[in-house]
Chains A and B, each alone.
Chain A
Amino acid sequence: MEFFHKQTNFPFMATRKVWYTLSVVLMITSFALLYFRGLNLAIDFTGGVTAQASFSQAPNVDAVRSKLEQAGFRDPQVQLSGSSRDVAIRLPPTGQNVNEIRAKLEEALKSVDASAQLSNPDVRGPQVGGELKTSAIWALSFTLVLIFLYLAFRFHTWRLSFGAILAVLHDPILVLGWFALSQTPFDLAVVAAILAVVGYSLNDTVVVFDRIRERFESNRRLQPDIALDQSINQTLSRTIMTKVVTSIVVVALLILGGAALKGFSEALMIGILAGTYSSIYISSAIALDCGLTAEHIFPTVKKTAVDHLP
């Protein structure tokens, strides 16, 4: 079995302006969504309280909410979860300690229905989430710098590094945009998935780069855009194959993984799609538009040192 029996020869680079436009539109949309709609941040980041309660008969969600408000909780979110008798409660951060919260919650719920059973509330301080965010951003920035340097060292040019970094930034932004659009809860597992997406995207990009290096090595006079087209076409069956295989696992997780893995598998799915596209149209095309030539990867050794000899 093979996807392509013959070597494909799609003119990828010729149409790059169209794809740039698409990328820019998608990025702007993502930023707009993030700005205007925002992420549905899970308790991991916002801090606050979550708890589950089960009732002997289906409760009136609005009644539960108003009882919680009467008990002094601001903006309680009450939703049915799982069955009609189970509700999930989410409260913004409070200064109270867990025992106080538990006691007050229990009292309020019992006043709705004496049979109400409350799970252990999960209480998070808001500052922890904030610090997690900063430390993640720092770690990510540092990673990007190191990757930039490593690629520049391996391929002797900043142009490819620059393309790779743009591609790596492109994919998570689209994933974030998707989470702003779908309002799927954004928790720590999603962060892990985004990190994996960055990994996949880098992997793809570097494989194409490796082929570009090889194309230039075999023919230094090759037109850059032709060399890039050839490289992408020659690695195309590998790109598709790898994506299909990883997608099999991710789709299985998406369908069977349950609620805990929903955000995680969604992020991976969107990220893999975005990554495939960005490794073709962002990383390579940007390098081309930065003026990449064979000369950058294989600089001609100047013989001036010899000429100086008498």
Chain B
Amino acid sequence: MLEYARWKYILVSLVLVIALVFALPNVFGSDLALTVATKDHTDVTQDGAKSVEDFLKSKSIPFKGADIEGGRLIVRFDTVAQQYQARDAVAEQFKDKYISALYYAPRTPAFLRKLGLRPMSLGLDLRGGLSLLYQVDINSAVTQLLDGYAQDARKVLAAAKIPYKDVSQVAVDSDRPNAVRVVLAPEADVDAARKALAQTFQDTKVSTESLASGSAITAALTPAQIRQRQDYAIQQNITTLRNRVNELGVSEPSVTRQGLDRINVELPGVLNSAEVKDLLGRTATLEFRMNDETHSATEAKLTGRVPLGSKLYTNTRMGVPILLKREVIATGDQLTSATSSSGQEGPQVDIKLDSRAGDAMLKATRANVGHHMGVVLIEKRRETIDVDGKKVTRDVTDEQVINDATIQGVFGNQFRIVGLGAGEARDLALLLRSGSLATVIYLVQEQAIGPQLGAKNIASGVLALEIGMAGVFLFMALYYKVFGLIADLVLLANVVLLTALLSMMHATLSLPGIAGILLTVGMAVDANVLIYERIREELRKGVSPQAAIRAGFEKAFSAIADSNITTLIAGVVLWVFGTGPIRNFAIVLTLGIATSMFTALMGSRAVITLLYGGRRKVAHLPI
């Protein structure tokens, strides 16, 4: 007698039903589409949607439909040519109002979407888009921290009236600066200095040594602190990049950390890379400083003698050199909001500061009504130049005075910057709003995949997979007859289960993922083959059909388990340590092994027992 516990039947059916529901959204496919979002992040209105639709009609660009979803207008097309035409036309016509991006809009019905069910998203290699890999300069994050420490050290020593010769950054047991060293004056009290510094830098390693130049105290960062600082810099940059990417209005963007110091930005459907890269990679911040009106900037430029406490700016939007006081009233990272608008004096950026900067601004403006205040835009970038035929990269900081205006009245945390072009005002507001990058980032890799190529990849890959799978199904049915059909059913269930899991996890499917599915299908077939060959073997020995089935499953179990666990080990290790494509492969493989073991061992057992189990007499197995 062959039996299978009732709870196992219930479990198998339940899992299958849930899997079917989650896999369902993938059946509907997707449309070529264009997403249209407003530049100021408000929802697209019905009127707005109508104006876009009317415009497309007037340009006689045919579209299948247009709906507002999640505040964005999604317009669907039949062909790539129409989609492109529409994108260019909409971008041109509504350039001040809307941001549009190419998109694969899932055809998932509304009731499924309301349940939060979504199809698997496709990787850039399958759908097209722009992939950017940025390198974060994590060493400069540490240098910045040390700068702060050095400043604090000077303050503490000055407050304690301990004379010192020099405060500088040094490298202790490292090839990068990781410590601040204070060289004391000969008359200084070393113990008092050490005590004062140790109290200020409680978390650092403070040591005393005698150098040729005098007694020195070194406060070194611990490796953990350095790592923490670097992590912070990367996290902060990821947040900023995410904000900027969101400003672009791209659907389903992804910003992820890759390895120690890289950030990967993937923008599906985006192909015009120049503009995107310009916005993403910019490290802009503002500084507000008072104008040094007691000295002449032109004279300082001519003589090269800049008055103490001032800084000379030759790159100014006004075209004349300007002297600004070194003291900074407020900086861009103290900003709470920045929006561009159009005022009486043309385009402007309306700025709100946090309370601390607001207080400083209030104090400065109260004392300086009628005087000038300068706004400096600071941007960092890396450029490559030719030096004697060798390529040398260097970091460049561009500082430009973008505004030098008379303070009309006392103001605090709210004011505006005027004298900008319309595009400039918008970009500046965007950059300031999304926050400045903690450290400079450099683009190290860029890949644009055309959607046509993506579509071709999918089409030929899917066709090949379909034909291959059909061949497998046919062959299994021929070779194992009814049992082969059961195996086909189980294989199908495995694909459904895997699809459901991947959709649930919002995993991305790319070419390596398809390799993973292929391996999984192979493993699932293999599990069934192992069981069936065992059953045949038992039958050959003359065992009764039901006993042969039981023995087949039991004896094949250890082979299936061991071979799958071995592959699972490989899958998990690659999942944890791999990056990019290898990780993608590993995720699919790991999940696939789990589903194929479940379907082959439990699913097929359930079906076979249902057909040949119980008390019925089975004389012959169609295997």
Which A residues contact B (CB, under 8 angstroms)? 1-2, 7, 47, 95-99, 119-125, 127-128, 131-132, 135-136, 138-139, 142-143, 146-147, 150-151, 154, 188-189, 191-193, 195-196, 198-200, 202-204, 206-207, 209-211, 213-214, 234-235, 237-238, 241-242, 244-246, 248-253, 255-258, 260-261, 264, 268
Contact A147 B570, CB 8 Å, known A96-B384, A123-B445, A211-B559 = yes
| B71, CB-defined interface residue at 8 Å | no
A241: chain B residues within 8 A (beta carbon): 479, 529, 533
A123: chain B residues within 8 A (beta carbon): 445-447
Complex CA gap A235/B571 in Å reads 25
A214: chain B residues within 8 A (beta carbon): 555
Contact call A250/B468, Cβ cutoff below 8 A = yes
Contact A249 B521, CB 8 Å, known A123-B447, A206-B562, A258-B457 = yes
| B66, CB-defined interface residue at 8 Å | no
User: Within the complex, which residue of A146, A200, A209, A234 is in contact with B522, where a contact is CB–CB below 8 Å?
Assistant: A200
Contact call A95/B444, Cβ cutoff below 8 A = no
Complex CA gap A253/B515 in Å reads 11
| Stretch in B139-147, B173-181, B574-582 touching the partner | B574-582
Contact call A203/B464, Cβ cutoff below 8 A = no
Complex CA gap A185/B521 in Å reads 26
Contact call A127/B559, Cβ cutoff below 8 A = no
Complex CA gap A237/B461 in Å reads 30
| Stretch in B271-279, B417-425, B602-610 touching the partner | B271-279
Contact call A252/B133, Cβ cutoff below 8 A = no
Most B-side CB within 10 Å, residue of A97, A192, A237: A192
Kindly identify, within residues 356 to 393 of chain B, every residue whose CB is under 8 Å from any CB belonging to chain A: 384, 391, 393
A98 to chain B, nearest CB (A): 5
Contact call A192/B446, Cβ cutoff below 8 A = no
Per-position 1/0 for B531-552, Cβ under 8 A of A: 0010011001000000000000
Complex CA gap A161/B562 in Å reads 13
Q: Can you name the residue of chain A whose Cβ is closest to the Cβ of B456?
A: A258
Kindly identify, within residues 78 to 128 of chain B, every residue whose CB is under 8 Å from any CB belonging to chain A: 125
A258: chain B residues within 8 A (beta carbon): 456-457, 460-461, 464
Which B residues contact A (CB, under 8 angstroms)? 125, 133, 259, 262, 271, 273-274, 277, 384, 391, 393, 443-450, 453, 456-457, 460-461, 463-465, 467-469, 471-472, 475-476, 478-479, 511-512, 515-516, 518-519, 521-523, 525-526, 529-530, 533, 536-537, 540, 555, 558-559, 562-567, 569-571, 573-574, 577-582, 585-586, 589
Contact call B468/A249, Cβ cutoff below 8 A = yes
A188: chain B residues within 8 A (beta carbon): 512, 580-582
Contact call B582/A203, Cβ cutoff below 8 A = no
User: Within the complex, which residue of A2, A7, A206 is in contact with B563, where a contact is CB–CB below 8 Å?
Assistant: A206
Q: Can you name the residue of chain B whose Cβ is closest to the Cβ of A145?
A: B573
Complex CA gap A248/B471 in Å reads 6
A242: chain B residues within 8 A (beta carbon): 522, 525-526, 529
A238 to chain B, nearest CB (A): 4
Complex CA gap A138/B521 in Å reads 27
Complex CA gap A247/B162 in Å reads 80
A234: chain B residues within 8 A (beta carbon): 537
B571: chain A residues within 8 A (beta carbon): 199
Complex CA gap A227/B192 in Å reads 81
User: Within the complex, which residue of B465, B558, B565 is in contact with A249, where a contact is CB–CB below 8 Å?
Assistant: B465
User: Within the complex, which residue of A99, A139, A192, A238 is in contact with B512, where a contact is CB–CB below 8 Å?
Assistant: A192
B13 to chain A, nearest CB (A): 27
Most B-side CB within 10 Å, residue of A47, A135, A255: A135
Complex CA gap A250/B567 in Å reads 20
Q: Can you name the residue of chain A whose Cβ is closest to the Cβ of B557?
A: A210
Complex CA gap A188/B465 in Å reads 20
Contact call A136/B582, Cβ cutoff below 8 A = yes
B125: chain A residues within 8 A (beta carbon): 260
Contact A192 B457, CB 8 Å, known A123-B447, A139-B573, A256-B464 = no
Contact A195 B570, CB 8 Å, known A238-B530, A261-B460 = yes
Contact call B444/A238, Cβ cutoff below 8 A = no
User: Within the complex, which residue of A96, A146, A256 is in contact with B460, where a contact is CB–CB below 8 Å?
Assistant: A256
Contact A257 B579, CB 8 Å, known A95-B391, A150-B566 = no
Query: What 9 pairs between A and B have smallest CB-CB spacing?
Result: A252-B468, A249-B468, A258-B460, A120-B448, A192-B512, A95-B391, A125-B444, A210-B559, A206-B563
Complex CA gap A248/B476 in Å reads 11
Q: Can you name the residue of chain B whose Cβ is closest to the Cβ of A99?
A: B274
Contact call A203/B515, Cβ cutoff below 8 A = no
Contact call B566/A245, Cβ cutoff below 8 A = no
Seed contacts A2-B536, A192-B515, A195-B582; 13 additional CB < 8 Å A-B pairs: A95-B384, A98-B277, A135-B582, A192-B512, A195-B515, A202-B566, A206-B566, A210-B563, A244-B475, A246-B525, A248-B472, A252-B468, A260-B457
Contact call B582/A191, Cβ cutoff below 8 A = yes
Contact call B582/A147, Cβ cutoff below 8 A = no
